[in-house]
Structure formats: C-alpha cells, structure tokens
Amino acid sequence: MPHTPHPPAAVLASDQERVFHGLGVSPGIAIGVVFHHNTGTVAVPEYCLTRDGIKAERHRFAEAVEAAVAQVEMLQAKARALSGSVGEELGYLLDAYQQMLQGSRLVRGVDRRISEERINAEAAVQKEIGQIVAGFAAMDDAYLAARMDDIREVGQRLIRNLTRTPHKPFSTMPPHAVILAEELSPADTALLDPRQALGVATVLGGAAGHTAIMARSLELPMVVGTTGALVGAKNGVPVIVDGTAGLLILDPSPETLSLYRTRRAELLRQRRRLHRLVKVPAITRDGVSITLLANLELPSEVSSVVTNGAAGVGLLRSEFMYMNRDTLPDEDEQYALLAGMVRKLEGRPLTIRTLDCGSDKLAPALGLLHSPNPALGLRAIRLSLKRRDILEPQLAAILRAAAHGPVRILLPMISTVSEVTEVRACLDKVAKRLTAQGHALPDPLPPVGIMIEIPGAALAADALALQADFFAIGTNDLTQYTLAIDRTDEAVAGLYDPLHPAVLRLIQFTTEAALRARIPVSICGEMAGDPRYAPLLLGLGIRDLSMSVANLARVKQRVRSIDLVAANRRARIIMDQSDSTRIGQLLDDFNAHLAP
C-alpha cells in the first residue's frame, strides 16, 4: 500500500526544534510534555460465543467496521480541505487506514477468528493485531515499524466502536501534559482536568467550535491546524503551545524555552493586574452600568463566577449533563446539580439553557440518528420538542432548582413563535405536575427567554419578542448561519467574520426589537468576551454581555474606558459601511483612542 511519508509542515529552527504554524484559538503559553490523545488502549473483554451467537457477532463486527469507515471518511473530507502538504500528509495516512478497513488481512482475520475460535469481536481484533504486529516486528524494517502504529490505531478505533464504553481518554495523562490530537471533541474536553493539562494542539477544529470555546473557558492555550506535528512527536517530548501566535514548538532549544518562560511570566503578571478589577464596577466613563455575566460549560466553573465578579450566569450550556454517558440524566439528578449551582451563586441569576445537542455537540445517551447535515438537522429545541423524555425532566429539574434562587430558562435555536408557545405549554404542564406532587415552585414561574442565533429568528425578532421574556443573541451560530460558514471547520475559518455587515444588521435589528418590546437583551456569543467588540455592541444599545469567566476582567477594563455617546456615534458610522475590513478599521481606530 503506497504510503510515502511526507516532510511535516514544519520550519526547522535548530537541530531538534520544530515549529508548526497553526491557528491560535485560545490565547496563552503552555510549556510541558507531549501527550497523545486517543492512543490509549481500551480495556478489551474476552468471552466465548455459543455456536448460535457467531452470526450475530460477525454482524456486530461488520457494523463496527462500517462505523470506522464512516469516521475515517469524515476525517478524509476534512483533510482534503486542508491546504498543501499538511492535507496531503494526513490524506495518505487516512487512505492507509481506509484500505486496512476494507477487506484487508486485519478484517478477514478478525472475521475468521470469530467463526473459528468462537471469541467475541473485540478480543478477536486484539489477537489479530497482536499477530500482525509481531510478524512485522520480526522483519526489523523501519518502514514496517511505522506501519505497526497505523495498524494499532485502526484496531483501537474498531475496539472503541465495539465496546461503546465511555472511554477515559486522559486516564494515563502525565502532569504538565500538552495534548496533541487529530481532533478533540467537546465531550472529551469536558473530561479534561485543567490542573493536569496545560495546553492543546489539534489537526482539526475551528476557533468558534465548542472545543475552542471550552479551551478558552478553561484558560488552556490551544492551537488548531498542526497536522505534521502528530507524525513525529512522541509522548513525553518537551513542547510549547503558543495559543496567541498560533505556534506549536516541539523539542524547543534552550534559547526558545527561556524566551517562552519569560513571556509566560509576563502573561501571568498581566493576569494578576487584571484580577484587581474584580471588585470595581463595570461602568462606562459616562456612568452607565453594564451587566457582565458568565457563560458556563461545566458545573465546576460556578465558583469562579463569584470570585471573578460576574453579576450572574447569562448562559449555562446544559449539554455537560448528557455527555460521556449512555443513559439520559433523570429529573432528580439534574435537579441536584442545578440546585447546587443556584445555591453557590448566592442570589445571582442562573440562566439555564435547555439542551442544545447537535452539530459538534453529540451525546450517545440521546441515540441520535446520523443527520446528513447536523448543523441544520434535528437539534437543540427541535430535538427537545420531539423528545419529551428529554424536555420534561429538564424543565422539571429547572423549576425545582428555581425554588432556591433566581433562575431564567433559555431556549436554543428558536426559529418560530410556535416553538416558544409549545415549550410554554409544556412548562405549565410540568409545573402543575410538580405542584400536585408537593414541590415548592416560585411564583411567578421563571422567565422564558430565547436564543437569537438563526438569521430567520433575528428577522422575526418583533414577533418573537411578544412571546419571549428576554433575548440572548448567540453570535457564534448567528455568524455561522448568516454567512454559511461552518464554525468548526478550520478550512473556512478565515471567512468566519462577525463584523460582516449582514451579521451586524441582524444584531442591530434584534436589539432594537427587544428595546421596543421592553424586554432584556444580551449577547452571549464569543463576541461578548472580546474587548475589541465592546464599543460597537454598547453603541448598538446592548447593556448585558455574557462571556467565559476568563474574559470578564479584560472586557470590564474596556467598558470602563468607553464613553457611550462616542461609542454610539461610532456604531452609527459603522452601520453605514458595507465592507467588513473597513468596519474592522473603524472599530480598531476607536479602541486605539480610548483612554487606558
């Protein structure tokens, strides 16, 4: 099988040091050692089959192979979109995987073992791989030795598909690890211990994807698009991730190491200086108070809301409750988690978004069918309305948690008024049931708000404002859907532009509709957490910004230097522009002239 190794996309800076240029999606500097994600072996059960069980087992194996082919096909499609030798390198590797999955000795051998040795499929995969690898090793050939890793990787993929056990991807991770991976899913990121992992570098992924958002929340420096690095880097090799400049440096020279240690120390000093802002109010120069809220991905982050001086939680992404498990969380389990968070917020509001699974956020517990176009498929509120076994327990848990402090309910991916009225009807039904069961519920029930993140919803904001108690503008998806740019795809990351006039007009239209209807409106997409956009958003009339906790201090610093009258004037000039480059210049010029 032709698999000529290509030189990795690296610039040689010294004998050993290799510098890979990618896209920085989470700022900061990590200095640690390489840890390859997804190379860990999965525990393999072994058992004997009855004669009658052989056919079913061969079928189960065929399904696992089919799933692996589909997974690799998906990676191949992404690799094709990568440019130059980076895509080519990955393409060769994935072609090789694909050949191994289609009628190769590996697949035939496993099938034969199931029938002849009457053992389960995962044990048969492990035995077959062991035999192939032992044969290669005996030949003492460097090329074949490299192929052994490929065969093991394919075997692990098959075993993972067969066992369907929630794999524990970081169980063997050493301290000071920098994770190198083809791709890191949001579900795996949720399992990361940020005290152990210092940074991440992946081949695939985009700046607005959920993994990148989580990395920013966890303050983990992250770079995507570092293809060649996977090929040469062994576990334990010293490495630097520069998430600000988008660099991955393997085996850094002593000079580079010392330079980066100095830079990291400076960043830590800056962070400490910013932390002093925690206690000062978020108020503009002309005395207007701005509400800065937190976006949370994980319940463990809730204490940081208080310590970082946020006014509350503007967006709790509830997906974490459904990730890395095979069953749905029941009402009591959700209630316990949410009530704990409400209590820890000590009177600050908690805005709980109902499940927003789909696209890059999938949970096996939901047993979702493959969607031909997941970003446009049965996801978020559409899924919840179809699956009352998901929606009702979640609403019930939220209502019960609301007995412990202020709670708001937020509905994701709303596109029509009827979706809101259907959820309200469901909420009333659930509330009646809970009251009958003797639960104390707040009176009135918590406000029900909607995400404005679909262009159609923004354009229908007037009508939606009659049904919603508040709006939260999700600029991540609003940008994705307005510009038809997949937010998770690094191949089109350069086209993902929240300053596109179409996106800005939708934000403006939505904000004005909310102000007319006298309902609160916030921004909770990534735009809210970038100080660059603060003058524009405030100038458009936004007063509530919800962001990852890590960004609160920097945004507060910017808010305190803004004069609202001037920001409003600049926003009007910006809204007359048709070119996003010019818009960017006008914004940067405004920011550059702000008093420090």
Name the residues annotated as catalytic. Answer: 210, 524
User: Residue 460 CB, nearest distance to ligand PEP (Å)?
Assistant: 17
Q: Please say which residue, 477 or 486, places its beta carbon nearer to Mg ion.
A: 477
Residue type present at position 162: L
User: Residue 474 CB, nearest distance to Mg ion (Å)?
Assistant: 4
Which of Mg ion, ligand PEP, none does residue 500 bind to, with CB < 5 to 8 Å depending on kind? Answer: none
Give the residue from 413, 437, 410, 276 showing the smallest Cα distance to 352. 410
**Residue 179 to residue 272: CA distance in whole angstroms:** 26
Q: Please say which residue, 156 or 480, places its beta carbon nearer to ligand PEP.
A: 480
Which of Mg ion, ligand PEP, none does residue 524 bind to, with CB < 5 to 8 Å depending on kind? Answer: ligand PEP
Which of ligand PEP, Mg ion, none does residue 317 bind to, with CB < 5 to 8 Å depending on kind? Answer: ligand PEP
Q: Please say which residue, 221 or 474, places its beta carbon nearer to Mg ion.
A: 474
- The answer to whether 109 and 131 have CB atoms below 8 angstroms apart is yes
Q: What's the full length of the chain, in residues?
A: 596
Site string for Mg ion, 473-502 (x = CB under 5 A): -x--x-------------------------
Which of ligand PEP, Mg ion, none does residue 227 bind to, with CB < 5 to 8 Å depending on kind? Answer: none
Q: Please say which residue, 251 or 360, places its beta carbon nearer to Mg ion.
A: 360
96-106: b (≥16 Cβ within 10 Å) or e: bbbbbbeeeeb
Contact positions toward ligand PEP, by CB under 6 A? Answer: 315, 317, 356, 453, 474-477, 524-525
User: Residue 477 CB, nearest distance to ligand PEP (Å)?
Assistant: 3
Q: Please say which residue, 19 or 220, places its beta carbon nearer to ligand PEP.
A: 220
Give the residue from 213, 211, 224 showing the smallest Cα distance to 180. 224
Angle between helices 105-117 and 53-81 (to 10 degrees): 160
- The answer to whether 294 and 316 have CB atoms below 8 angstroms apart is no
Phi (first) and psi of residue 521, to 5 degrees: -135, 135
Which of ligand PEP, Mg ion, none does residue 404 bind to, with CB < 5 to 8 Å depending on kind? Answer: none
Q: Please say which residue, 155 or 205, places its beta carbon nearer to ligand PEP.
A: 205
- The answer to whether 416 and 378 have CB atoms below 8 angstroms apart is no
Helix (H, G, I), strand (E, B) or coil at 253: coil
Q: Please say which residue, 29 or 452, places its beta carbon nearer to ligand PEP.
A: 452
What angle is formed at CA 456 by the lines to CA 451 and CA 461, rounded to 5 degrees?
A: 60
Q: Please say which residue, 382 or 560, places its beta carbon nearer to ligand PEP.
A: 382
User: Residue 480 CB, nearest distance to Mg ion (Å)?
Assistant: 8
User: Residue 477 CB, nearest distance to Mg ion (Å)?
Assistant: 4
**Residue 498 to residue 193: CA distance in whole angstroms:** 31
CA distances from 110 to 98, 125, 417 (A): 16, 6, 54
* Per CB under 5 A, 360 contacts Mg ion: no
Q: Please say which residue, 211 or 226, places its beta carbon nearer to ligand PEP.
A: 211
User: Residue 399 CB, nearest distance to Mg ion (Å)?
Assistant: 23
Strands 247-250 and 238-242, how do they pair?
A: antiparallel
**Residue 115 to residue 130: CA distance in whole angstroms:** 18
Report H helices in 518-563.
534-539, 552-559
* C-alpha torsion sign, points 430, 431, 435, 441: positive
**Residue 456 to residue 421: CA distance in whole angstroms:** 17
Neighbouring CB atoms inside 10 A of 524's CB total 30
Phi (first) and psi of residue 196, to 5 degrees: -100, -40
* C-alpha torsion sign, points 344, 345, 346, 352: negative
User: Residue 591 CB, nearest distance to ligand PEP (Å)?
Assistant: 22
CA distances from 432 to 190, 419, 440, 441 (A): 35, 20, 11, 10
527-560: b (≥16 Cβ within 10 Å) or e: bbbbbbbbbbbbbbbbbbbbbbbbbbbbbbbbbb
Q: Please say which residue, 87 or 349, places its beta carbon nearer to ligand PEP.
A: 349
User: Residue 336 CB, nearest distance to ligand PEP (Å)?
Assistant: 23
Which of ligand PEP, Mg ion, none does residue 475 bind to, with CB < 5 to 8 Å depending on kind? Answer: ligand PEP
Binding residues with Mg ion: total (CB under 5 A): 3
Q: Which 8-state DSSP code applies to residue 277?
A: G
Which of Mg ion, ligand PEP, none does residue 525 bind to, with CB < 5 to 8 Å depending on kind? Answer: ligand PEP
User: Residue 26 CB, nearest distance to ligand PEP (Å)?
Assistant: 15
Strands 29-36 and 238-242, how do they pair?
A: antiparallel
DSSP one-letter string for 564-589: HHHHHHHHHHHHT---HHHHHHHHHH
Which of ligand PEP, Mg ion, none does residue 539 bind to, with CB < 5 to 8 Å depending on kind? Answer: none
Give the nearest residue (CB) to ligand PEP. 474
Dihedral class, residue 84 (left if φ above 0, else alpha if ψ from -120 to 50, else beta):
left
User: Residue 472 CB, nearest distance to ligand PEP (Å)?
Assistant: 7
Return the residues of window 429-468 that contact Mg ion according to CB under 5 A: 453
Which of ligand PEP, Mg ion, none does residue 331 bind to, with CB < 5 to 8 Å depending on kind? Answer: none
| Contacting residues toward Mg ion, per CB under 5 A | 453, 474, 477
